[in-house]
Chains A and B, each alone.
Chain A
Amino acid sequence: MNAHAHAHSHAPAAPTWHGVVIALITGLFFGWGLALSGMMDPLTVLAFLDVAGAWNPSLAFVMGGAVGVTVVGFQLLKRRTAPVCGDLFHLPQNKAIDRRLLTGAALFGIGWGLAGYCPGPALAGLLAGNAETWVVVPAMLAGAWLQRRTNPVGQHRH
């Protein structure tokens, strides 16, 4: 797989319309997967995290199914030097298990346990009749916005 280090000096090529359509379809499939799996209900998510209560292993089946597909699929993609639409694979280059990663992940878990929403189900819930997400999503965007203005190292993406 032809990965590249993120350089900030050059502007990225604008994606082709094919690429934009692929992204749209991906978002749609991803969202349907979340809906089908039951992960759009925060109570199902919290029941997975509630290991001392009435534990519901649903999330483990979702994650197991998803990672099973990505492990095999990503391995097959390694045979290619470039994606179907585009000239390179944009893979994260940072391999550091540092304080920034662990603090961020720890905070994410706390927020996830408080409200029951990770970013995907919160966004997918906006037009699905879930009033809670109209509070969770703006708060999430505000939190990310504040973080990016407070300590924006490594946030440049293209």
Chain B
Amino acid sequence: MTLLDFLPALLGGLLIGAASVLLLGGIGRIAGISGITFALLDRPNWNGANLWRVAFVVGLLAAGWSWSHWSGQPMAPNREANWPLLTLGGLVVGWGTSLGSGCTSGHGVCGLGRLSLRSLAAVATFMATGALTVFVMRHVLAA
């Protein structure tokens, strides 16, 4: 692979960063996807103040739909789905990002952008356990 192969990744990253700056500058909110989404699960907060969160999630869904629609291809991974593993992974991601107050967007893109040590600690931790998990799955268990 050449450096040019990573141009879409870099440009996509710039767009993600620009979106995060737009949300903070526009309405004063951190673009943390787990925080925005899971706040919708808190029943007492279900009022007009959540409208921006609903709008953000709708935009995210519309982005995936429009991208696959315009490219004419479903954006699905080329692998045999392991449904129990996907269920377990989803559960743990939900529990962990709720407990740790953030994911790759909130702690990663926004927290690091704010030069937050707390977010840096979170990012270092989930990168490490993520890499360790893949190592165990692929090279120890060879699942």
Q: Bound complex: CA of A10 vs CA of B4, how far in Å?
A: 51
Cβ-defined contact, A26 with B26, below 8 A: yes
- Contacting residue for B10 out of A20, A32, A61, CB 8 A: A61
How many residue-residue contacts, CB under 8 A, span A and B? 512
Q: Is the interface of A mostly helix, strand, loop or mixed?
A: helix
- Among residues of A, the one whose C-beta sits closest to the C-beta of B115 is A71
Interface residues of A (CB under 8 A from B): 11-15, 19-43, 46, 49-53, 57-59, 61-71, 73-74, 77, 80, 82-92, 94-97, 100-120, 122-132, 135-148, 151, 154-158
- Chain B residues with CB under 8 A of A66: 13-14, 16-17, 20, 108-109, 113
- Chain A's nearest CB lies how many Å from the CB of B57? 6
- Chain B's nearest CB lies how many Å from the CB of A54? 10
Cβ-defined contact, B33 with A123, below 8 A: yes
Q: Which of B8, B14, B49 has the most CB of A within 10 A?
A: B14
Q: Is the interface of B mostly helix, strand, loop or mixed?
A: helix
Cβ-defined contact, B90 with A25, below 8 A: no
- Chain A residues with CB under 8 A of B127: 49, 109
- Contacting residue for A64 out of B10, B107, B115, B138, CB 8 A: B10
Q: Bound complex: CA of A38 vs CA of B61, how far in Å?
A: 16
A15-B51, A23-B56 given; 7 more Cβ-contact pairs under 8 Å? A14-B48, A39-B12, A50-B134, A70-B112, A106-B126, A128-B65, A136-B86
Q: Which of B62, B93, B117 has the most CB of A within 10 A?
A: B93
Cβ-defined contact, B21 with A30, below 8 A: no
